[in-house]
Each structure stands twice: as structure tokens, then as C-alpha cells.
Amino acid sequence: MEQRLIKESKRQSVGKITFLTPYYKEGRGNATTAKRIVTGLNKNRVHTDVVAFDEQSISTDIVEKIERNPLLHILHFRRFSDWQEKNQFYFETPYVITSGGTDVNIDIFKEEHKEKIGRVLGNAAAITVFSHDSKQKLLSVYENLESKVHVIKQSVWLPEISGIRPKEKVNLTDNGFNIVLPAGLRAVKDVLFVMPALIELKQQFPKLTFTIVGSAIERSVLNEVIDVTKKYPWVSYYEDVPFEEMSSIYEQSDVIINSSFSEGQSSALLEAMFFKKPVVARNNGGNKSIIDHGRTGFLFATLQQFYNQIKELVLHDELRQYVTKHASEYVMKEHHLEKEITSYLHLYNKVLNYC
């Protein structure tokens, strides 16, 4: 018994970490994920130094932040492996690494990324993904990593706004049926896929509007979106909307959609479900991980399916109430911030005590 107590007394509990993320200031999904986790850690009295490695050049300050804490948490397999290769910067500090979404859905299957991502994952003390679908994809490429991979679901977090609310950038029409797509403009997000169906729906429902909100990441996609907004006045695009304004956008919307080819786990969909807004999303692994079709939202594979789902939501208030009720209950149960952070803290402590 005495020997066991001595062993227990030597166990470490995480108090400080460094969080490495590609983005922290820019309005991207990785920044949202990073801010959510950092906020949760700080609330649990874990001091967190943040390094946004794609927003700043490597410096002695960054090196010091990385080396001064006993544990690192890194976001995005491919972006971190690119950064490490570019800077030839390596360290012995144990680290947990979390999928950024695109890395596990696209990057690991590309030959130019596969090997270097594999090295980063192989050196990690633990790997986390947002869904079992992502875990299966990861292990289909890196079979030897199974013991390291943990599924930790994303939670819903929107920052608290203190003081006077700033003037909002996005104001949707009060009497319209407002369809909103929150996504950075990248080819993988396929934000204009639904346009043919929306054009047809607009003819039947003149008050319908379509609004895209997100950073202009790929110039070619931005140009296509601008062309569409010029041609159709009921289509709008807003760039660089502060994350603090998203609550207001959800409140003004009638349906939130996601048209991505692939998705890790959409925080926008989870946020919409939290706000009791119907969600209609493309049928991919990430979206399937959070949407129970017909109960908490809808999944579509074709334009015809999307058209039918939006039409039903426009026409039937009781359907909107049914799915939003169950979606809200699901999010509160499965995607609570404290639950996510507790999972990370448990993993951090496990790593610290077994590395």
C-alpha cells in the first residue's frame, strides 16, 4: 500500500502547455478550433502559450514558447509537417496532435504529403480526431498508429461579448427565408454546388436569400462567388466576418447548409444546431458523424435531394421544430465544451505520466 501511494504521488497533472495552431487571428476553422480549446483550458486553470505558426515567422520567442512547457498540443497534421520541414525545427517535448479536417480527409491520401505527415504522427505521443469516420480514414493509411488514435468530438463554443456590441457587418432580411453557408472559400467547400437548386427554389419562394460567410482563401473560388452575386441580387457574400458576430448570423438565419466534398466535423453545423436552426449538409463522413438524417438535420448527395429538403423546410414549420429540437438536445449532450476539454486533460495527463 505504501509503495502504491508513493507512485501515485509522483503522477504529474498538466498545468502548462504550448498550443501550436496554423491560424489564430485569421477567420478560419482552425482558428475557431484553437480558440475554443485554449478558452476551455484556461477555464480549467491550464496556462496555455499559443503559437500560430503560419501567421508568424519562426523566432527565438516561438522557440522559447515551444521549449518551456512540458507538453505541446498541435493542430493540423499537414500544415505542421510543412512548417517543421520548412524550418528544420525538431524537439523532444512530447506532443498531442489533432486533425484539422482537410488533413485526414485529403492530405494523407496524397503522395507528396503522406510520408512527412506519417513522420509527424509517428513521433506524436497521442493523435486525436473528431469522429470515428476520421479515425478509420487515418488508420487506412497508417495502420500501425491505432494505439495512439483517440476520438474527441468537437464542442460548441461562441465567445462571450462584453460591453457594447460592435456594429454588425451582416444583416439579413427580416421577412425572407434566409439560407446561410458559413465556409472559407476553397474548392473543397464547393460553396456554389447548390446554386442550380436554389435558383429553382427562388422561383417558387421569392423571399428566399442565400448568404455565404467566410474568408476568401482561394482566389479562383472568390472570383466565381463574386460573379454569382453580381448575377443574382439575392445572393450575398461576406468576407472576414468576426467570429463574435456568428451568433447574430445564426439568429437571423432560417437554414444553415454545408456543401463540402469532405468535412472533418463542421463547427458551423454544430453551432447552428445549438441555436436551434435546421441544418442541411452534404452526405460525407464528417457531416454524418453529427447529423442523424431526418431527426437532427438532413443529408444530401444530389441537387434533387437538396432541393426537396429545403422545400420541405420552407413549407413545414413543424418539421423545422422537430429537427431543431432533437438537434439542440444532441449537441448539448454530446458536444459540450467541458466534456471536450475534460477529454483533452485526461489525455494530457496520460501522456505526461507515461512518456
Q: How many CB atoms lie within 10 A of CB 145?
A: 16
Angle among Cα 104, 188, 286 to the nearest 5 degrees reads 45
Per-residue burial over 11-33, b = 16 or more CB atoms within 10 Å of its CB, e = otherwise: eeebeebbbbbbbbeebbbbbbb
Question: What distances in angstroms separate CA 312 from CA 35, 167, 217, 303, 320, one per listed residue?
Answer: 36, 34, 33, 14, 9
Those residues whose C-beta lies under 8 Å from the C-beta of residue 10, and which sit 6 or more positions away, are: none
**pTM for the model:** 0.84
Q: How many CB atoms lie within 10 A of CB 64?
A: 11
Strand partners, 150: 128
Q: In this predicted structure, what is the pLDDT of residue 130?
A: 92
Domain with CATH 3.40.50.2000 in the chain: 2-155+336-354, 177-334
Check residue 100 and give left, alpha or beta (phi > 0: left; psi -120 to 50: alpha): alpha
Q: In this predicted structure, what is the pLDDT of residue 4?
A: 41
CB-hemisphere CA count at 13 Å for 350?
Answer: 12
Strand partners, 255: 179
Residue 183 CB burial class (10 angstroms; 0-12, 13-18, ≥19): buried
Domain 2-155+336-354 -> CATH class? alpha beta
Query: Alpha-carbon distance 264 to 209, whole Å?
Result: 27
Q: In this predicted structure, what is the pLDDT of residue 41?
A: 96
**In the structure grid, which three cell numbers stand for residue 164, read together?**
457594447
CATH architecture of 177-334: 3-Layer(aba) Sandwich (3.40)
Reported as a single tens digit per residue, the pLDDT across 111-143 is 999 999 999 999 999 999 998 989 999 999 999
Q: In this predicted structure, what is the pLDDT of residue 139?
A: 96
The residue ranges of the chain whose pLDDT is under 50 are 1-9, 164
Query: Alpha-carbon distance 263 to 167, whole Å?
Result: 32
Cβ distance 122 to 145 under 8 Å?
yes
Q: How many CB atoms lie within 10 A of CB 248?
A: 17
